[in-house]
Amino acid sequence: MDDNIQLNAQGQLKHFLTIEGLSRALLTEILDTAESFAGMTEQRVKKVPLLRGKTIVNLFFENSTRTKTTFELAGTRLSADVLSMNIATSATAKGESLLDTIRNLEAMFVDMFVVRHAISGAAHFIAQHAAPHISVINAGDGQHAHPTQAMLDMFTIRQLKHDFTQLRVAIIGDILHSRVARSQIQALNTLGAAEVRVIAPKTLLPAEVESLGVTVSHSLGQGLRDIDVIIMLRLQKERMTTALLPSESEYFKCFGLTPEKLKLAKPDAIVMHPGPINRGVEIDSKVADGPQSVILRQVSNGVAVRMAIMSMAMQKQGAQG
Amino acid sequence: MDDNIQLNAQGQLKHFLTIEGLSRALLTEILDTAESFAGMTEQRVKKVPLLRGKTIVNLFFENSTRTKTTFELAGTRLSADVLSMNIATSATAKGESLLDTIRNLEAMFVDMFVVRHAISGAAHFIAQHAAPHISVINAGDGQHAHPTQAMLDMFTIRQLKHDFTQLRVAIIGDILHSRVARSQIQALNTLGAAEVRVIAPKTLLPAEVESLGVTVSHSLGQGLRDIDVIIMLRLQKERMTTALLPSESEYFKCFGLTPEKLKLAKPDAIVMHPGPINRGVEIDSKVADGPQSVILRQVSNGVAVRMAIMSMAMQKQGAQG
Amino acid sequence: MDDNIQLNAQGQLKHFLTIEGLSRALLTEILDTAESFAGMTEQRVKKVPLLRGKTIVNLFFENSTRTKTTFELAGTRLSADVLSMNIATSATAKGESLLDTIRNLEAMFVDMFVVRHAISGAAHFIAQHAAPHISVINAGDGQHAHPTQAMLDMFTIRQLKHDFTQLRVAIIGDILHSRVARSQIQALNTLGAAEVRVIAPKTLLPAEVESLGVTVSHSLGQGLRDIDVIIMLRLQKERMTTALLPSESEYFKCFGLTPEKLKLAKPDAIVMHPGPINRGVEIDSKVADGPQSVILRQVSNGVAVRMAIMSMAMQKQGAQG
């Protein structure tokens, strides 16, 4: 895919579809912009008028309460009008094509689409065909990318660990099917992490995974050594039935993060998870709720990071090339 | 039905239920008011404070993403608070009568109902029984009327063709079941169109259709001669099963608008469709996406025209007779 | 349950979970505050900026159009951002625990939860575990309490009858399963009503009902004597099947409020009902729509009373102990 579609003629962010092809400078600009919103969200009055009069449409073809809610809150706190479409009952259900739905919404003078779709490349497709004044944000497409999740993770890591170049980060779980992992790996490498290590059974790793710029471990015991940041992935329980995975309890025994396992990482390692967590499947409650967990901080940062990305994309619209 | 219910004692718009009984002056006032909103919707900040503090309730007993969305956007851009009720899960489902639901919402000091209902006359019924301070807008009732759709069509025609008295307009498709067609015919006749021609197989025309003020053709070839404006109707595929219609492909062969057929109309004829379109059923994609199509312009105008109607109805409330 | 959880260190309202344990002074403060909002809701511009920049989340695990709508309107008219979660499709459906859902929403810097849940004590549970800056409003939990409904009833009674100490109030219907009745009885006793009388068949009364502070009658004929305020409860038709009740028509014959029965109360008695009403089951239409009925006034007052409770709870947040 042509990733330059994400930038306008001046190299500024116009769409946010994937981490791939974005520069370290641009990712850093996003993190810096999010900084200012992070403080704001805790204030008594949590609104800024940056996007007043703009219309944002949430197009969630896949359900995701958490992501949809943070995007709604982010848009609302930027003072935009946010419209969440119920796709199941929409004209799409009457047989209208995705493109016709998009064209119609465009004609109503909306300014931004936030898209979540089960098919890889859906947000890209919409960005390619959208009118020039529209920004598209990818809120997760198939097994391809989930770039706003990756950026909120980067924000959380920088907040607590400061310098990416000193960090060894482990991503643990179903790397094969995870759009989150794909975007995290790209972001960490772009930001110069010392090492990105994936820890998973062979059946849950893509072929030639090293080509993504990671080191590989098949054992939690081995893999956690010297690690500063632990990123757990959610185990999609529906995959259990596909025989790709052993039983839930077997999985937990080998790859579930317990307090004992956690001790194998650096003593000040932080534990992250994109949520919603499966307690007792990929993570023990003692770890999820423990002092090294920053899972809820990730959620908080999610609002600020999405406000940053949305406002950057929208403010660069005028300069589109 | 008593159509004077639409006007207050000063003859100003209070409810908007049907085109029937409204004067050319009033329809023209709506079009003129919409003119000012049409420019506004393209601006950076798309909001005016006209209805700030007003509460609009969308009562959609029938699903319609496009119409519901434009009404939500129109209300929001007028700065009203817009509440969209999920009727399926509402108290109505607990067996509460429509009238009790209306009475309860009124008691919460809402100002306007936008009603879509499968039963002809539903909006009228609500307007007759609503408290004096309430305005009711018909967003489509059974096979009776869809007056805001007709007005956005009139707005689009005037924008591109200027003088109704010089125009021959063809409406093509299932006239029998179409509330859109009924409202369009009334509006075109009220605004003085030179000719309103309906083109349809006999099975899709009401008895004594000429009494509506139209000429009739049963052939697209014959019917498109000298036509300035072509309005395609959506083919309700569910009707296919009722034996009123030949097969889909047979229908397309006879009444589908193709580039070849389009050439039979005037060279500068415009093509309209209320959407969502059935590509390859009533209209060929080459026509729908071609240079004579104004289908997306209709959608854009839909927001402006609904803003005009909503603000007019609401501002006349005080003067209700 | 520890009801002091409802108050902050200064004894001010922080959560609103139950009438139990609240003082007459506090209930009176709520009624007085609602007074100012009651006038406001009829104005042309119905908004006050009291909660601008605050985020209220409606967590309705049980459906209730009327209650949900009034809370949405109340929040919106206080200028808060109101987010209504569709619980059925939320992460909770993916197996996330209630507490994890709450923790995540908290992390997004929301300020208030309005909770409706089929399990008694759900709102309490959330208040106990919520972060210190969060207020929780109980919008109905199981068969336990529905305190905002009780307060809007108290407001309506005070508006029309002024002095609680002179009043005899009858509550009629399924006392056994009614959270509304439970909260009404507590509120009436706290506000000093001369008598609270429950009228119901024995099968619909809790054991030792007198311990709630009520007198008991099993006959509408006897029970309505000297009554100033009649509160009808909604008959949950689903209970019909449980053999707790005779047939619908049998119930109506014994406990349905007809114009004839109504004459047995004081001539200026008012008739109340929390809605939605079952016409011809617990109440005759002639009574529901008659001059003594204040049912729609209750609905109107519901918005004002909820605005009062929400703004009081939110403004005391800073002072939390």
Q: What is the ipTM of this complex?
A: 0.90
Residue B41 has what pLDDT? 72
| C191 CA: distance to closest CA in chain A (Å) | 34
Residues B28 and B111 in one domain: yes
pLDDT at C3 over 60: no
Which tokens sit at B96? 């509460």
Residue A1 has what pLDDT? 44
Question: Which residues, at least 6 apart from B224, have a Cβ–Cβ distance to it below 8 Å?
Answer: B170, B199, B230, B261, B262, B264, B265, B269
Residue with tokens 């993570």: A283
Residue A154 has what pLDDT? 98
Alpha carbon distance C180, C185 (integer Å) = 9
Residue B1 has what pLDDT? 45
State whether residue A55 sits within 8 Å of chain B by CB.
Answer: yes
* Mutation site, B76, B83, B92, B94, interface C, largest C CB count within 10 A: B94
Instruction: Decide if A107 and B66 are in contact by the 8 Å CB cutoff.
Output: no
Alpha carbon distance B28, B24 (integer Å) = 6
Residues B7 and B141 in one domain: yes
Residues B139 and B156 in one domain: no
Residues B119 and B156 in one domain: no
Q: What angle do CA C13, C16, C17 make, to 5 degrees?
A: 140
Residues A130 and A166 in one domain: no
Closest CA to C99 of B307, B158, C107: C107
Residues C163 and C123 in one domain: no
State whether residue C42 sits within 8 Å of chain B by CB.
Answer: yes
CB contact at 8 A, C259 and C291: no
pLDDT at C5 over 90: yes
State whether residue C58 sits within 8 Å of chain B by CB.
Answer: no
pLDDT at C224 over 70: yes
* Mutation site, B42, B61, B69, B84, interface A, largest A CB count within 10 A: B69
Residue with tokens 């000091």: B109
Predicted confidence band of residue A321 (pLDDT cuts 50, 70, 90): very low
Number of folded domains in chain A? 2
- What residues make up the domain containing A189? 147-295
Residue B245 has what pLDDT? 67
Residues C129 and C184 in one domain: no
Residue B240 has what pLDDT? 58
A11: CATH: 3.40.50.1370
Q: What is the mean pLDDT of chain A?
A: 91
Residues C293 and C313 in one domain: no
| A52 CA: distance to closest CA in chain C (Å) | 14
Higher pLDDT, C155 or C96: C155
Please give the residue of chain A at the shortest CA–CA distance from B299: A107
Please give the residue of chain C at the shortest CA–CA distance from B49: C45
- Range A244-248 contact pairs with CB under 8 angstroms and sequence separation of 24 or more: A244/A176, A244/A203, A244/A204, A245/A201, A245/A203, A245/A204, A246/A201, A248/A281
State whether residue B90 sits within 8 Å of chain A by CB.
Answer: no
Residue A149 has what pLDDT? 98
Number of A/C CB contacts below 8 angstroms equals 64
**B64-73 burial, b for 16+ CB within 10 Å, e for fewer?**
bbbbbbbbbb
Predicted confidence band of residue A298 (pLDDT cuts 50, 70, 90): very high
| DSSP string for residues in B106-136 | HHTT--EEEEEESSTTHHHHHHHHS-TT-EE
Of the partner residues B43, B73, B237, the one whose CB lies closest to the CB of residue A108:
B73
Question: Which residues, at least 6 apart from A311, have a Cβ–Cβ distance to it below 8 Å?
Answer: A33, A50, A51, A78
Q: What is the pLDDT of residues B174-204, one digit of tens each?
A: 999 999 999 999 999 999 999 999 999 998 9
Q: Which amino acid is at B313?
A: A
Q: How many residues does chain C have?
A: 321
Residue C238 has what pLDDT? 64
Number of A/B CB contacts below 8 angstroms equals 64
pLDDT at A2 over 70: no
| A28 CA: distance to closest CA in chain B (Å) | 28
**A274-285 burial, b for 16+ CB within 10 Å, e for fewer?**
bbbbbbebbbbe
* Mutation site, C44, C69, C235, C297, interface B, largest B CB count within 10 A: C69
Residues A172 and A250 in one domain: yes
Please give the residue of chain A at the shortest CA–CA distance from B306: A108
Which tokens sit at A156? 């959380």
Residues A26 and A122 in one domain: yes
Q: Could you tell me which chains touch chain B, where touching means 3 or more CB pairs under 8 A?
A: A, C
Give the residues across from A270 on adjacent strands: A229
Q: Is A165 exposed, middle or buried (0-12, 13-18, 19+ CB in 10 A)?
A: exposed
CB contact at 8 A, C273 and C234: yes
Question: Which residues, at least 6 apart from A19, have a Cβ–Cβ distance to it below 8 Å?
Answer: A27, A145, A147, A150, A151, A183, A186, A187, A190
CA distances from A98 to A90, A91, A113, A126, A296 (A): 11, 9, 13, 9, 35
A302: which chain C residues are within 8 Å (Cβ-Cβ)?
A: 108
Residues B172 and B203 in one domain: yes
pLDDT at A17 over 90: yes
Residues C137 and C164 in one domain: no
Alpha carbon distance C144, B226 (integer Å) = 73
pLDDT at A177 over 80: yes
* Segment C257-276 mean pLDDT: 97
Which tokens sit at B88? 């399926």
Low-confidence ranges of chain B (pLDDT < 50): 1, 318-321
